[in-house]
Chain A
Amino acid sequence: MSKRVLVVITSLLFTFSAFAIDTGKAFDDPEMQARYERLIAETRCVTCQNQSIKDSNAFIAADLRREIQRLMSEGKSDAEVAEFLVTRYGDFVLYRPRMSGKTMFLWIAPFAFILFAVFALVRVVRHRMALPIDDEAEVDGEIR
């Protein structure tokens, strides 16, 4: 199965190393340009081996950049651009997992883990604070 997909991929003549540069600025307005650059950096090239469409030389990447440019000039928001891409390619195409649905746990996780870690830490330190500090009487930790 993977061999077939590989034929498909190689038939597209893409190399990772030669990357893409647009023909120039997409937008004159620096804020729009900055937003555009961020969006294309966070959109995954669907044929490449883990590259954004900003850095990819593939023509699909160029097509997707063009679409994002078009959507932005039509006044679409970031969420709407994401929706456009996800409808066609699924969540796979976003490097920034969406904050809703099945990927919500990803954004909660760092804070949840830190909280849990703080609790564990407090417990351990409290426990140790109650024990004698003086080491002399300590028995070598050999298992008997």
Chain B
Amino acid sequence: MNKYLLPLIAVVILIPILILGLRSDPRELPSQYIGKPAPEFDLPTLKDPEKRVSTANLRGEVSLVNIWATWCAGCRAEHDFLMQLNREQVIPIYAINWRDNRPGALDWLAQLGDPYVASGFDEDGRVGIDWGVYGAPETFLVNAEGYVLFRYPGPLNRAVWDHEFAPRIAELKK
């Protein structure tokens, strides 16, 4: 083979890689826990510091774990949808209130409604780090055995739900 064809071949190989690269989002981080047990946590609840919420609560049924905070604009944007999910009784939603202040968070839920079974109060952010959270809001889909199936970074809405969550939940119910 003409050795002078090598540079051409190298470029021909490189270009599809760049094309593929264009279609992925460089800022999105895949979760390290997909297919693995959800990271252990044990937090006081937001409403009642005496009560606790932990990974044990997640076992037994398919659930969502939602990371939220009052300083997060996207969380406000998705809140109405979460309320709707709760009304439809589709799936229990647990929450980790991440790096927030208790009175502000309680106020928020009082004003906008509380779609959560329980909100863990992660004041110093350690649980957030343990879950590999890199922004808010994030929502994890956890199966009945406590394994993480999926993570969605960003505010939830009907379109995302139908496209990403509903099919996966349907799979589980088979």
Contact = CB atoms under 8 A, between A and B. Distances in A.
Contacts, number: 79
B117 interface: no
Contacts of A11: 71-75, 135-136
Contacts of A89: 29, 32, 132, 134
Interface in A57-92: 59-60, 63-64, 66-67, 86-90, 92
Interface stretch (A2-10, A25-33, A101-109, A130-138): A2-10
B112 interface: no
Given A4-B155, A8-B74, A63 B135 contact: no
A94 to B, nearest CB: 13
B124 interface: yes
A20 interface: no
A63 B127 CA distance: 11
Given A11-B73, A88-B131, A89-B132, A5 B125 contact: no
Interface in A1-50: 1-2, 4-13, 46-47
B61 interface: no
Contact of B135 (A2, A47, A86, A92): A47
